[in-house]
Amino acid sequence: MSIRVTVWNEGRHEKKSPIVAEIYPKGMHEQIAGALRQSQGLEITTATLDQDAEHGLSQERVDRTDVFIWWGHLAHKDVDDRIVERVHKRVLNGAGIVVLHSGHMSKIFMKLMGTTCNLKWREEKNEREILWVTRPGHPIVQGIDDHFILDREEMYGEFFDIPEPDCTFLISGFGGGEVFRSGCTRTRGAGRVVYFRPGHETFPTYHNANVLKVIENAVRWAAPDPALARIGFGNRKLGWMSDYPTGNPPAV
Amino acid sequence: MSIRVTVWNEGRHEKKSPIVAEIYPKGMHEQIAGALRQSQGLEITTATLDQDAEHGLSQERVDRTDVFIWWGHLAHKDVDDRIVERVHKRVLNGAGIVVLHSGHMSKIFMKLMGTTCNLKWREEKNEREILWVTRPGHPIVQGIDDHFILDREEMYGEFFDIPEPDCTFLISGFGGGEVFRSGCTRTRGAGRVVYFRPGHETFPTYHNANVLKVIENAVRWAAPDPALARIGFGNRKLGWMSDYPTGNPPAV
Amino acid sequence: MSIRVTVWNEGRHEKKSPIVAEIYPKGMHEQIAGALRQSQGLEITTATLDQDAEHGLSQERVDRTDVFIWWGHLAHKDVDDRIVERVHKRVLNGAGIVVLHSGHMSKIFMKLMGTTCNLKWREEKNEREILWVTRPGHPIVQGIDDHFILDREEMYGEFFDIPEPDCTFLISGFGGGEVFRSGCTRTRGAGRVVYFRPGHETFPTYHNANVLKVIENAVRWAAPDPALARIGFGNRKLGWMSDYPTGNPPAV
Amino acid sequence: MSIRVTVWNEGRHEKKSPIVAEIYPKGMHEQIAGALRQSQGLEITTATLDQDAEHGLSQERVDRTDVFIWWGHLAHKDVDDRIVERVHKRVLNGAGIVVLHSGHMSKIFMKLMGTTCNLKWREEKNEREILWVTRPGHPIVQGIDDHFILDREEMYGEFFDIPEPDCTFLISGFGGGEVFRSGCTRTRGAGRVVYFRPGHETFPTYHNANVLKVIENAVRWAAPDPALARIGFGNRKLGWMSDYPTGNPPAV
């Protein structure tokens, strides 16, 4: 059974900036989607903010998505609250979401984290980023060496205002001396949330083989338990319980 | 320097139900406040949903609160979103919040957790609850034996839809066989969040010495670092960094 | 590629007690192994304390094990420290280990946890255990409803002296009122550690379909990243680094 | 009531190296102790490996220690296993321990962690270290700005083979591009464990005001609950329970 992935991208930088358009002629979403399509067992579609009604995230599409990939930046505020609510609910019910780069301040990520998700940043200085593996053996860093280097990236620095992660699998060091928790996992409800830092739009980051490998691994890790569609939260769902698990009330 | 505590209570059950009014003639908030006032170094005020404009949580009051205690149930939806936003921001900037019992589905707790915070429940059956200490030595269970018993409480059962806690200090077992993570801590931003389960309005739970001791300990644990008011997130705050921590950009 | 599983069992209760021998005529290890052999992609062998030299855990066998299952009780002290060291090293290098029931005080589990792993217990009273899922959607509870019941088990109660788990996927409630964190996961080095509580030798617990399903899921979750055998901790391994990741030392 | 602190130091580098002796004429332990003695409510003693019988860690001394500070490097293997066992037991029973720098491979730290605690390192290159606060508001970083800089330190790099921390309060970036989780907290039993990275013996690190402030804060955070001495793990201690928390066995 395939993992159904929706690669969602704001998609505006590509239209506004010739630099971005040159690096990603079909948009970042199509670049990422194209790479994932070469991997077995994944069924990939894309959606963007302005493409369709409901940002391409109709109820039907959301229901048929196992893992979301999310890239946004300039237009976080233009994402409709009802769509955010819809994706949030789907994640809590078992879907995965892989939030990329500036998606750290998207409504959906902030809603899942409960914090501002703010950080320090410095761009266009072409800083070198080294990403160090801090949890070797984790499925998300499968096939990744102990570190990899991106010659030019935007700097993101701590304090990154997120809750303590369940697992931190990558930490970055930047040329300027800053550090950043670049790869983190968490559960929310029955769903899984991955944050993965790289991907400034003016650099060819999503052409990098290591970056694409981490995204693919993250998708597989975050994919829902197939049994969940059937049993959900189980026979005794959440809410009011009139009866007892063993049938009879306890002796008083 | 005292810890400034605001005990916030919805305060409607006490007006609607003679049973609740009899147990808490001045409201649950005053019962809790009264107990805390006997403890040194705490400066206690109370506020309720209907008492004043802005639910008694004006910007000034919120700014002068170090730790919030929060009890709500029937009227979660009547709490103004702007007030929730204000308390949320204050917590992320370093305040503590101790959420009690049915406060698990308050807007503020759900916003801090990022999940539905839903659970199983069964009330009015007078079930016995035993709360077991799962982190002896933690400041919040200071003075508490390895367990304590509440003869009659409402049942709350797992799955409790919360993110994996930083620390689980109490787990309850109920007469009917259900279990529940009754005491959990987390950080959000620079602030600290405690959830503590007991406190169904029709039982005299906030007259129980162990329950009051845990609340007092939780307030002390969640109180902000006094230095934070002065340095906040530090000289290099969050956002755009024009310069480098070491003064000069790195050699390229 | 199959997951190579070694089911290790102390194997002495079965020889000493007619009750245990009747429930597990070939030993608990063979009962568990038999169930796992019906599942695809697993390659199962067994070993016991007294069976062979080195408790059936020669260096060769340990090196060819992807996931260990561990049941021990009376004879923890008879397990040779060098064998414990060998299994420990293998886990840190990427193998998984699923520790069952009274294995909580095995040398290998205590060494991996760093604590006493002690707990409260009461046996032979035929207590009912209800295991509640506290992380729906986790691969280890795949196919498990929101709870399952074991009519008769030994009681284990909190405080269970373990470090805060990475994830708690099951919590038990017992007939006597005690509670217990019955399913927990952690990483150690590049390896994964699962503790799963049920399995008192005088009850037919390892004939229970839910128990066997959790064990199977745990084996799959704990299995090592296949790439790890090739890259291990990566090109720049741990220890002394004479050079720099970017080739040149930084300008001073 | 004062916090009784024992600053333990291997103490051999100071005797072997004129460079180290010049920076720390009375030993690193006395430098740290001297700074802590200027802080209220702390009762400071020191001990070294070769000083007295039992490395200055007699049973009586260990019993009267609330928080240990531990610096070791060359002579980890010379620390007697029985002394390690004694300190380990004391920590699990509620004491704190603050492990510094090369203490990461001390027997006591490895025993508490359950892993190799290995890492990458490069020394004597006078690398600049920037330590970034990743949990503002935590008591251990009280009074610390968002970062501080050590002009010259030994490099420690990831992967640092430790279990996922309960809280990571500092992450370092080094001039060469490596990163490191330099400040982490955990609980073990009823005790608290802090790791704090800086302190290479050939640099004047323990003369740095920020470093000393973090150590002082760590001591206060790790100090045991005073009530613990009285109640320990509670009336129903760990082990066999003949009776039930509610007095009577449950109805069958």
The pLDDT tens digits of the residues spanning C5-43 come to: 999 999 999 999 999 999 999 999 999 999 999 999 999
Q: Which residue from B159, B164, B177 is facing C167, i.e. has the nearest CB?
A: B164
Checking if the pLDDT of A63 tops 90, the result is yes
Give the burial class of C15: count Cβ atoms within 10 A of its Cβ; 0-12 exposed, 13-18 middle, 19 or more buried: exposed
pLDDT of residue D10: 97
CA distance, residue A65 to nearest chain D CA (Å): 31
Cβ pair D211, D198 in contact under 8 A: yes
Helical pair D209-222 and D28-37, crossing angle rounded to 10 deg:
70
Q: Please, what's the b/e burial string for A15-54 (b: 16 or more CB within 10 A of its CB; e: otherwise)?
A: eeeeebeebbeebbbbbbbebbeebeebebebbbbebeeb
Question: Measured between CB atoms, does A252 come within 8 Å of chain C?
Answer: no
- What's the mean per-residue pLDDT of chain A? 95
pLDDT of residue B124: 65
Interface mutation vs chain C, best among B159, B160, B167, B186, most C CBs within 10 Å: B159
Question: Measured between CB atoms, does A246 come within 8 Å of chain C?
Answer: yes
Tokens found for residue C69: 């299952």
pLDDT of residue C250: 78
- What's the mean per-residue pLDDT of chain D? 95
Chain C residues whose beta carbon lies within 8 Å of the beta carbon of residue B177 = 128, 130, 173, 175
Chain B residues whose beta carbon lies within 8 Å of the beta carbon of residue A236 = 120
Q: How large is the average pLDDT for residues B21-27?
A: 98
Tokens found for residue C202: 């005088």
Checking if the pLDDT of D124 tops 70, the result is no
Distance of CA D136 to the CA centre of its chain: 20
pLDDT of residue D239: 93
Given the structure tokens 């019955």, which residue do they identify?
C182
Least confident interval from A116-125, A209-218, B153-162, D134-143: A116-125
Which chains, if any, share at least 3 CB pairs under 8 A with chain A? B, C, D
d(CA C193, CA C70): 11
Apex CA D12: angle with CA D10 and CA D13, to 5°? 110
Q: Could C115 and D164 be called an inter-chain contact, meaning their C-beta atoms sit closer than 8 Å?
A: no
More confident residue, B55 or D126: B55
CA distance, residue A142 to nearest chain C CA (Å): 6
**What does the pLDDT look like over D34-73, one tens digit per residue?**
999 999 999 999 999 998 899 999 999 999 999 999 999 9
Chain D residues whose beta carbon lies within 8 Å of the beta carbon of residue A138 = none
CB atoms within 10 A of CB C53: 7
pLDDT of residue A51: 86
d(CA D136, CA B104): 26
Given the structure tokens 């089911």, which residue do they identify?
C7
Interface mutation vs chain A, best among C66, C127, C129, C142, most A CBs within 10 Å: C142
Report percent pLDDT > 90 for chain C. 88
Q: Which strand (E) or helix (H) includes residue C168?
A: strand C167-174
pLDDT of residue A124: 66
Checking if the pLDDT of B170 tops 90, the result is yes
Q: Could D137 and B191 be called an inter-chain contact, meaning their C-beta atoms sit closer than 8 Å?
A: yes
For B230, residues 6+ apart whose C-beta sits below 8 A from its C-beta are none
Nearest to D72, CA basis, from D55, D60, D88? D55
CA distance, residue D170 to nearest chain A CA (Å): 10
Residue C104 DSSP label: G
Tokens found for residue B221: 């644990």
Cβ pair D64, D47 in contact under 8 A: no
d(CA D84, CA D111): 9
Cβ pair B158, B178 in contact under 8 A: yes
Q: Could D176 and C249 be called an inter-chain contact, meaning their C-beta atoms sit closer than 8 Å?
A: yes
pLDDT of residue A140: 97
Chain D 159-188, residues with CB within 8 Å of chain A CB atoms: 159-160, 164, 166-168, 171-175, 177-179, 181
**What does the pLDDT look like over C221-242, one tens digit per residue?**
999 988 888 888 888 999 999 8
pLDDT of residue C117: 98
Q: How large is the average pLDDT for residues D76-97?
A: 98
Checking if the pLDDT of A165 tops 80, the result is yes
Of the pLDDT bands very low, low, confident and very high (cuts 50, 70, 90), residue B248 is: confident
Q: Could D189 and B236 be called an inter-chain contact, meaning their C-beta atoms sit closer than 8 Å?
A: no
Q: What is the 3-state secondary structure (H, E, C) of C139-154?
A: HHHCCCCCEEEEEEEE
Nearest to C8, CA basis, from C94, C157, C108? C108
Chain D residues whose beta carbon lies within 8 Å of the beta carbon of residue B135 = 187
pLDDT of residue C252: 56
Interface mutation vs chain C, best among A3, A90, A97, A146, most C CBs within 10 Å: A146
**What does the pLDDT look like over C95-123, one tens digit per residue?**
999 999 999 999 999 999 999 999 999 98
pLDDT of residue C123: 82
pLDDT of residue C204: 97
Q: Could C237 and A146 be called an inter-chain contact, meaning their C-beta atoms sit closer than 8 Å?
A: yes
Q: Please, what's the b/e burial string for D23-48 (b: 16 or more CB within 10 A of its CB; e: otherwise)?
A: bbeebbbbbbbebbeebeebebebbb
**What does the pLDDT look like over B81-95, one tens digit per residue?**
999 999 999 999 999
CA distances from D162 to A76, D115, D158, D185 (A): 37, 6, 10, 11
**What does the pLDDT look like over D181-212, one tens digit per residue?**
999 999 999 999 999 999 999 999 999 999 99
Tokens found for residue A214: 């981490």
Question: Measured between CB atoms, does D158 come within 8 Å of chain A?
Answer: yes
Of the pLDDT bands very low, low, confident and very high (cuts 50, 70, 90), residue C198 is: very high
d(CA C194, CA C183): 7
pLDDT of residue B252: 55
Of the pLDDT bands very low, low, confident and very high (cuts 50, 70, 90), residue D252 is: low
Q: Which residue from C111, C234, C249 is facing D114, i.e. has the nearest CB?
A: C111
Phi-psi bin for C8: left (phi > 0), alpha (psi -120 to 50), beta? Answer: beta
3-class SS of residue D159:
coil
**Residue type present at position B65:** T
Return the residue of A nearest to C128 by Cα: A246
Report percent pLDDT > 70 for chain C. 99
Q: How many CB pairs under 8 A join A and C?
A: 94
Of the pLDDT bands very low, low, confident and very high (cuts 50, 70, 90), residue B36 is: very high
Checking if the pLDDT of D76 tops 80, the result is yes
Chain A residues whose beta carbon lies within 8 Å of the beta carbon of residue C138 = 187, 225
Nearest to A9, CA basis, from A89, A94, A96, A100? A100
pLDDT of residue B216: 98
Of the pLDDT bands very low, low, confident and very high (cuts 50, 70, 90), residue B226 is: confident
Q: Could D135 and A164 be called an inter-chain contact, meaning their C-beta atoms sit closer than 8 Å?
A: yes
Q: Could C159 and B130 be called an inter-chain contact, meaning their C-beta atoms sit closer than 8 Å?
A: no
pLDDT of residue C2: 95
d(CA A28, CA C128): 55
pLDDT of residue A233: 87
CA distance, residue A52 to nearest chain D CA (Å): 40
Give the burial class of C16: count Cβ atoms within 10 A of its Cβ; 0-12 exposed, 13-18 middle, 19 or more buried: exposed
**Residue type present at position D252:** V
Q: Could B242 and A114 be called an inter-chain contact, meaning their C-beta atoms sit closer than 8 Å?
A: no
Of the pLDDT bands very low, low, confident and very high (cuts 50, 70, 90), residue C191 is: very high
Q: Could D134 and A172 be called an inter-chain contact, meaning their C-beta atoms sit closer than 8 Å?
A: no
Nearest to A158, CA basis, from D29, B238, C235? B238
Return the residue of C nearest to B182 by Cα: C179
Interface mutation vs chain C, best among A142, A149, A153, A169, most C CBs within 10 Å: A142
Q: Which residue from A128, A224, A231 is facing C246, i.e. has the nearest CB?
A: A128
d(CA D175, CA C248): 11
pLDDT of residue B14: 95
- What's the mean per-residue pLDDT of chain C? 95
d(CA B218, CA B33): 14
Question: Measured between CB atoms, does C152 come within 8 Å of chain A?
Answer: no
d(CA D198, CA D186): 18
CA distance, residue A159 to nearest chain B CA (Å): 7
Going along chain D, which residue ranges are E strands?
Answer: 3-9, 42-48, 67-71, 96-100, 120-133, 147-157, 167-174, 179-188, 191-196, 239-240
Q: Could B246 and D139 be called an inter-chain contact, meaning their C-beta atoms sit closer than 8 Å?
A: no
Q: How large is the average pLDDT for residues D157-166?
A: 98
CA distance, residue B222 to nearest chain C CA (Å): 19
Residues pairing with C42 in the sheet: C3
Cβ pair D70, D98 in contact under 8 A: yes
- What's the mean per-residue pLDDT of chain B? 95
3-class SS of residue D29:
helix
Cβ pair B238, A159 in contact under 8 A: yes
Q: How large is the average pLDDT for residues C67-81?
A: 98
Tokens found for residue B109: 């707790």
Going along A120-246, which residue ranges are E strands?
Answer: 120-133, 147-157, 167-174, 179-188, 191-196, 239-240
pLDDT of residue B247: 83
Return the residue of C nearest to D117 by Cα: C189
pLDDT of residue B108: 98
CA distances from D155 to A129, A205, B69, D172, D235 (A): 18, 28, 45, 9, 48
CA distances from A49 to A56, A64, B240, C131, D191 (A): 7, 18, 26, 44, 51
d(CA C187, CA D112): 15
Report percent pLDDT > 90 for chain D. 87
Residues pairing with D219 in the sheet: none
Q: Which residue from A142, A147, A227 is facing C225, i.e. has the nearest CB?
A: A142
Q: Could A161 and B189 be called an inter-chain contact, meaning their C-beta atoms sit closer than 8 Å?
A: yes
Tokens found for residue B219: 């307030």
Of the pLDDT bands very low, low, confident and very high (cuts 50, 70, 90), residue C134 is: very high
Chain A 113-132, residues with CB within 8 Å of chain D CB atoms: 128, 130, 132
Q: How large is the average pLDDT for residues A122-129?
A: 84
Of the pLDDT bands very low, low, confident and very high (cuts 50, 70, 90), residue D231 is: confident
d(CA D172, CA D164): 17
Q: Could C130 and A167 be called an inter-chain contact, meaning their C-beta atoms sit closer than 8 Å?
A: no
For B91, residues 6+ apart whose C-beta sits below 8 A from its C-beta are B68, B97, B108, B112, B188, B189, B191, B193
Q: Could A188 and B245 be called an inter-chain contact, meaning their C-beta atoms sit closer than 8 Å?
A: no
ipTM of the complex: 0.96
3-class SS of residue C26:
coil
d(CA B34, CA B28): 10
pLDDT of residue C232: 83
Of the pLDDT bands very low, low, confident and very high (cuts 50, 70, 90), residue A126 is: confident
Tokens found for residue A104: 């750290």
- Identify whether C148 is preceded by a cis peptide bond (ω within 30 of 0): no
Question: Measured between CB atoms, does C224 come within 8 Å of chain A?
Answer: yes
Q: What is the 3-state secondary structure (H, E, C) of chain B?
A: CCEEEEEEECCCHHHHCHHHHHHCCCCHHHHHHHHHHCCCCEEEEEEECCCCHHHHCCHHHHHCCCEEEEECCCCHHHCCHHHHHHHHHHHHCCCEEEEEHHHHHCHHHHHHHCCCCCCEEEEEEEEEEEEEECCCCCHHHCCCCCEEEEEEEEEEECCCCCCCCCEEEEEEEECCCCEEEEEEEEEECCEEEEEECCCCCCCCHHHCHHHHHHHHHHHHHHCCCCCHHHHCCCCCCCEECCCCCCCCCCCC
pLDDT of residue A246: 87
**What does the pLDDT look like over B108-128, one tens digit per residue?**
999 999 999 999 999 867 789
